[in-house]
Structure 1
Amino acid sequence: MTESPWHKEIKNWGVATEIPLGNRRADCMLRCGKRAEIQARPLTPAEVAGREAHADLWILDCRAAHRTDRLLVWDDPDFGQLFRWDRAWQSFAVAKRPVFLNLEMDISTGHGSFLQVTGWAFNRHRALGSGHPHTATAMRSWMRYDIPLTAHPAVTR
């Protein structure tokens, strides 16, 4: 399968790509030594669990869901950033590693937004959760240079 421009872009934010680990590989290595799995499509629960054996975190392409309002993010004064993802990738209910949702990305400018999931629950076709927003610039700096991520002011819609 060929990689999309989005997948290639995010993968290249790491310091190394295609990290071999036995008979598997991680998409990229971050400066801090973490291995990222970058995913643009749903997987089966077995695939999620299997890939977690060699990856430390997930970056999921949720741009289409966000653009079509299937993934909504809003600021709640009591709980911070909340989200609702309709027709969510249910297989990620088994994920144990940290997850980052890419909400927006303009490959030509590098501008975009991500939501670091801090907690979520799946109910059939929907995921509800909370998270911390980050700009694409902050994500890139963390992945490439190990500059700590700090929550960015509201990424809402």
Structure 2
Amino acid sequence: MTESTWHKEVKDWGVATEIALGNRRADCLLRCGKRAEIQAHRLAPVEVAGREAHTDLWILDCRAAHARNRLLVWDDPDFGTLFRWNRAWQGFAVAKRPAFLNTKLDISTGRGTFLEVTGWIFDGYRALGSGRLHTAAAMRSWMRYDTPLAPHLVVTP
């Protein structure tokens, strides 16, 4: 399977790519030593569980879901940043590793938004949860230089 432009772009934010781990591999290595699995499509639960043996975090391409209003992100004054993902990738209900949902990314400018999931539950074909928003620049800097992630200040409606 060929990699998408999005997959190649995000993978290249790490300090190394295609990290071999036995008969598996991680997509990229972050400066802090974490291994990231970058995923543009849904996976079966058994595949998610299997990949978690060699990865420390997930970066999921949710741009289409966000653009089609299947992934809604909003700020609640009492609870912070919340999200609802209709027709969520059910395989990730078994995920134990941290996840980042890419809601927007313009490859030509490098601008975009990522939602760091701080908690989620899967209810049928819907995922509900909370998180912290980060700019693409902040994600890139964290992955490449281990710059601490600070919450994004502009909330996506």
Provide TM-score, normalisation by structure 2.
0.99
Distance 2:41 2:89 in 1: 8
Matches of 1:19 and 1:145, distance apart in 2: 18
Residues in 1 aligned to 2:78 and 2:155: alpha-carbon distance in whole angstroms: 16
Q: Which residue in the other structure is 1:72 paired with? A: 72
Cα pair 1:70 1:87 within 8 Å, conserved:
yes
Residue of structure 1 equivalent to 2:89: 89
Please tell me whether the aligned partners of residues 83 and 129 of structure 1 are also in contact (alpha carbons under 8 angstroms).
Answer: yes
Aligned to 2:8: 8
> 1-side partners of 2:151 and 2:116: how far apart?
9
Query: What SS is found at the alignment partner of 1:69?
Result: coil
Aligned partner of residue 133 in structure 1, secondary structure: strand
Report the identity percentage: 77
- Tell me how far apart the structure 2 counterparts of residues 156 and 105 of structure 1 sit (CA, whole Å): 13
Q: Distance in 2 between matches of 1:93 and 1:83?
A: 15
Please list every run of 5 or more consecutive structure 2 residues that lacks an aligned counterpart in the other structure: none
Matches within 5 A, 1:129-144: 129-144=129-144
Moved over 4 A (4+): none
Q: In structure 1, what is the equivalent of residue 98 of structure 2?
A: 98
Residue pair 1:56, 1:98 contacting (<8 A) in 2 also: yes
CA distance in structure 1 between the aligned counterparts of 2:143 and 2:56, rounded to whole angstroms: 12
SS at match of 2:156: coil
Deviation at 1:152, TM superposition (A): 1.0
Report the CA distance between 1:14 and its aligned residue. Answer: 0.1
- C-alpha distance in 2, partners of 1:152/1:65? 20
User: Aligned equivalents of 1:5 and 1:42: distance in 2?
Assistant: 17
Q: 2:31 aligns to what? A: 31
**Which residue does 1:148 correspond to in 2?**
148
Q: What is the aligned length?
A: 157
Name the Cα RMSD after superposition: 0.6
Structure 1: runs of 5 or more not aligned: none
Q: CA deviation at 1:154?
A: 3.8
User: Residue in 1 aligned with 2:57?
Assistant: 57
